[in-house]
């Protein structure tokens, strides 16, 4: 049987047709983001040949040294999106404040948030990295756009996804109608639908956490991981496997593909910070994807998508993946209170 190839464009047109699930402007916006990801993918692939490896001489707003590719990816996303007429403004991990679409371009009704290059520490070692994005509607009732307009709970997202640059370049998307995966066909230059209705198994034997922080963890996290490590003879009655790629996109991609639990919890290293990962352009889009695939995502206590953001670069504790495992970790936190 030769299955008909469905391009991202066709998938989006059909989403627009069925019950008007997505408006035309949102469809075009997603296409532009996908095009930007394609171009980032080409830059990533060139590696040393394209002079894109190594660090730049700058820090971002979170005090992290920027890699050249962090900056390149950020610029590609801004340039691709600013003139299309779909957006009012953008927010990025690599920019201190929001980027309002200049008034020489038509103003759109959406807000775009992104982590242009996730997994920066893996760029130079040729391990999978990615781009994460989240789309919100600009609140109505006032002209112009402010940072406040971005501070909407993740449950308000209208589209979210990521593009992973690994052995294959794969775009993973939700518009609230399940999760679909599109693989980049390099010869054709287009994203082709390769999986629909992605489902995360409710149970798993695989966990992902940076174990080097164990001594800094909170008791509920320690309890959960200790029980996994105890294996067949322990309270869980089964052996667990561990994976930690240090690119959230790659860890989440594995979980969407075969299940598992991912944790980047609060720890005692920097007790004032709720976690390492950022709510608006890492945790929210990933949490929505995971929920749309039947998984769960919490900060250890509450559903991430219900959290009311207070700042653009706010950090959050993250527990996501297979439903029963996430519920267990959340339960351990609630019991410890
Ligand atoms: P970024 O490269 O955008 O700053 O994000 C890196 C994040 C995330 O992708 C990953 O899960 C985590 O940082 C890895 O952190 P550790 O190096 O502490 O393991
Ligand atoms: Mn990141
Ligand atoms: Mn990043």
pLDDT digits (tens, 9 = 90+) for 61-77: 888 889 999 999 999 99
pLDDT of amino acid 75: 97
Q: What is the dihedral of CA 10, 248, 282, 18, to 10 degrees?
A: 20
Instruction: Report the candidate in 141, 148, 137 with the shortest Cα–Cα distance to residue 109.
Output: 137
Beta-bridged to residue 162, according to DSSP, are 132, 172
Pocket lining: 131 vs ligand 1, CB cutoff 6 Å: no
Q: Which two tokens stand for residue 273?
A: 């910070």
Averaged pLDDT for residues 235-240: 98
CATH number of this structure's domain 8-195, picked from the four choices 2.30.130.10, 3.40.50.300, 3.30.540.10, 3.30.750.24: 3.30.540.10
Averaged pLDDT for residues 98-103: 96
Spell out a b/e string for 244-280, using b for 16 or more CB atoms within 10 Å of the CB, else e.
ebbbbbbbbbbbbeebbbbbbbbbeeeeeebbbbbbb
In which residue ranges of the chain is CATH 3.30.540.10 found? 8-195
Statement: residue 80 has pLDDT above 70: yes
pTM, entire model: 0.97
In which residue ranges of the chain is CATH 3.40.190.80 found? 206-336
Query: What confidence category does residue 330 fall into, taking pLDDT thresholds of 50, 70 and 90?
Result: very high
Q: Which two tokens stand for residue 15?
A: 């989403």
Question: Do residues 40 and 76 make contact, with C-beta atoms less than 8 angstroms apart?
Answer: yes
Average pLDDT, the chain: 96
Percent with pLDDT over 70 in the chain: 99
Percent with pLDDT over 90 in the chain: 93
Pocket lining: 298 vs ligand 1, CB cutoff 6 Å: no
Atom of ligand 1 minimally distant from the CA of 276: 13
Binding site per annotation, positions for Mg(2+)? 93, 115, 117-118, 282
Rg from Cα positions in the chain? 20
Ligand nearest to the CA of 64: 1
Averaged pLDDT for residues 17-29: 91
For residue 3, report the distance from its CA to the centre of ligand 2, in Å. 35
Q: What is the pLDDT of residues 168-204, one digit of tens each?
A: 999 999 999 999 999 999 999 999 999 999 999 999 9
CATH number of this structure's domain 206-336, picked from the four choices 3.30.9.10, 3.40.190.80, 3.20.20.70, 3.90.550.10: 3.40.190.80
pLDDT of amino acid 2: 56
Atom of ligand 1 minimally distant from the CA of 62: 4
């Amino acid at each position: 049987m030769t299955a008909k190839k469905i391009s991202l464009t066709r998938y989006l047109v059909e989403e627009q047709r069925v019950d008007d699930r997505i408006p035309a402007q949102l469809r075009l916006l997603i296409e532009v983001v996908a095009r930007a990801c394609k171009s980032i993918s080409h830059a990533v692939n060139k590696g040393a040949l394209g002079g894109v490896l190594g660090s730049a001489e700058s820090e971002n707003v979170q005090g992290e040294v920027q890699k050249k590719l962090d900056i390149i990816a950020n610029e590609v996303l801004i340039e691709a999106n600013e003139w299309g007429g779909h957006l009012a403004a953008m927010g990025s991990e690599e920019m201190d404040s929001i980027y309002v679409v200049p008034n020489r371009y038509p103003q759109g009704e959406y807000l775009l948030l992104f982590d242009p290059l996730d997994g920066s520490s893996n760029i130079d070692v040729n391990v999978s990295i990615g781009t994460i994005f989240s789309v919100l509607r600009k609140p109505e009732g006032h002209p112009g756009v402010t940072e406040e307009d971005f501070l909407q709970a993740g449950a308000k997202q209208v589209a979210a996804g990521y593009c992973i640059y690994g052995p294959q370049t794969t775009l993973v998307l939700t518009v609230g109608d399940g999760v679909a995966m599109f693989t980049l066909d390099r010869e054709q230059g287009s994203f082709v639908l390769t999986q629909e209705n992605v489902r995360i198994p409710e149970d798993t034997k695989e966990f992902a956490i940076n174990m080097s922080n164990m001594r800094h963890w909170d008791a509920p996290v320690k309890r959960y991981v200790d029980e996994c490590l105890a294996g067949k003879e322990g309270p869980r009655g089964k052996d667990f496997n561990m994976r930690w790629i240090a690119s959230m996109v790659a860890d989440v991609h594995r979980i969407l593909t075969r299940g598992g639990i991912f944790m980047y919890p609060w720890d005692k290293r920097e007790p004032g910070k709720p976690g390492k990962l950022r709510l608006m352009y890492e945790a929210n889009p990933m949490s929505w994807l995971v929920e749309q695939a039947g998984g769960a995502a919490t900060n250890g206590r509450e559903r991430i998508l219900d959290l009311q953001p207070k700042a653009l670069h706010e950090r959050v504790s993250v527990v996501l993946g297979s439903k029963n495992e996430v519920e267990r970790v959340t339960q351990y936190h609630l019991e410890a209170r």
